[in-house]
Homo-oligomer: A and B are copies of this chain.
Amino acid sequence: MNKVKIGLIGLGTVGSGVVKVLKDYPEVEIKKIAVKNINKKRNIENLDTSILTTDPFEIVNDKDIDIVVEVIGGTTPAFELLKTAINNGKHIVTANKELLAKNGQELFNLANEKNTAILYEAAIAGGIPIIMPIKTTLAGNKINKIEAILNGTTNYILTKMEEDGVSYEEVLKEAQALGYAETDPTGDVEGYDSAYKIATLATIALNRRVDINKIYREGITQISANDMKFAKELGYKIKLIAQALLKENNKVDVRVHPMLVPLKDCLASINGVTNSVVLEGFPVGRVMMAGPGAGEFPTASSVVGDILAIVRSLGAKDILPLMKCHHEINAEQIDIKETENKYYISITAMNTPGVIGCIGEICGKHHISLASVLQKGIEEGNTAQIVIITEKSIEANVLDAIDELKNNKNIVKINNLIRVME
């Protein structure tokens, strides 16, 4: 049997998993692995160190290599490496969500030109099958909505905050100690990671290229223990939701921000580091996938699935159309200020008669109806904690109302503004 030759760039957590899993597949052979440090001790049985190299360009320029598997992350040098690999006619399997979000268009165009495949199941929602189902089983659908939890670190933090009633800062420290959060957690907690993923997921699902720079993004660092408590009382959980909507006017609304998710919604029950993707479309209706969003083996599962899909297609005259990423149209992305949402607003106000009436009046002036108002007891300094859930309102109006509330003498502080899932 003529083995398909793999070049692996990166031998960290995911790369190690790929090596361990691929050893059971005699149809493929890892010919070379690019690493930073050849002498590093690695937790891989019987690793043939003679195939290690510190020069990843050796891999993308190796005439024998059929498939380049890139699991180093980041755009430099990954972008140059993959362009070279594609120009050399190689198929690509990547777990690099940042690269796809920032340079996906150029890579996919080049791959189409060179008739090579770029598969990237592992880049979005780790072990959960989502990209290939969209390209195959769901290919007959017009998908118009994605709601997803795409970042395990933030979901772990929010779950712990909710379960233990503790602050963001406290849980973050614990998550860092456990290795669930990085020393610099910005990429996760500020929503960048989720934004990269939803950019690519929305591109393939909505069938138009989404611009990462036009995605509204807000992280979880402003969520307080109080927000968690109030949300729970109101029948919600707070989750960092990545969302993409294809509107009836064919405009696209893509964003990442925390949301109050109603308990009856299946995303409310996605806890810890689990990821989940909900798709809505016609004719299928609503489908949901959930599973491990990261980790050595779940991610390796998706990388190996992609490798095998390419291996099994190599006999075909052309690499199959299902291997290609549709992106002919650029999405017309709307600004968050134009969107309509329900809102949770947490306010510290003076405990004076009529303060709720005053809040209601200001909201009404800005065309915002209140669905519910909770006064959460008297606090120090004769202030009251007031929590509002609005009806669906235009974001620009809500921001105007918030500005006016901030300047009102009865209002001490706007503690938080969080969107609410319907």
Contact = CB atoms under 8 A, between A and B. Distances in A.
Interface of A: 17, 20-22, 25, 121, 127-129, 131-133, 136-141, 266, 269, 282-292, 295-298, 300-302, 304-309, 312-313, 315-318, 320-322
B129 A136 contact: yes
A320 B291 CA distance: 28
B127 A285 contact: yes
Contact of A320 (B17, B131, B141, B316): B316
A305 B21 contact: no
A305 B286 CA distance: 16
B320 A318 contact: no
Given A129-B133, A297-B282, A139 B315 contact: no
Given A286-B292, A290-B290, A320-B320, 5 more contacts: A25-B140, A129-B287, A283-B301, A288-B289, A288-B291
A32 to B, nearest CB: 20
Contacts of A322: 309, 312
A75 B301 CA distance: 37
A291 B298 contact: no
Contact of A291 (B139, B287, B291, B317): B287
Number of copies: 2
A270 to B, nearest CB: 9
Contact of A140 (B137, B290, B308): B308
Contact of A137 (B20, B132, B284): B132
Contact of A297 (B17, B284, B296, B316): B284
Contacts of A284: 127, 291-292, 297-298, 301-302
A75 B177 CA distance: 59
A118 to B, nearest CB: 15
Nearest to A280: B291
A287 B290 contact: yes
Given A287-B290, A289-B289, A138 B305 contact: yes
B286 A140 contact: no
Nearest to A307: B140
B285 A287 contact: no
Contacts of A121: 137
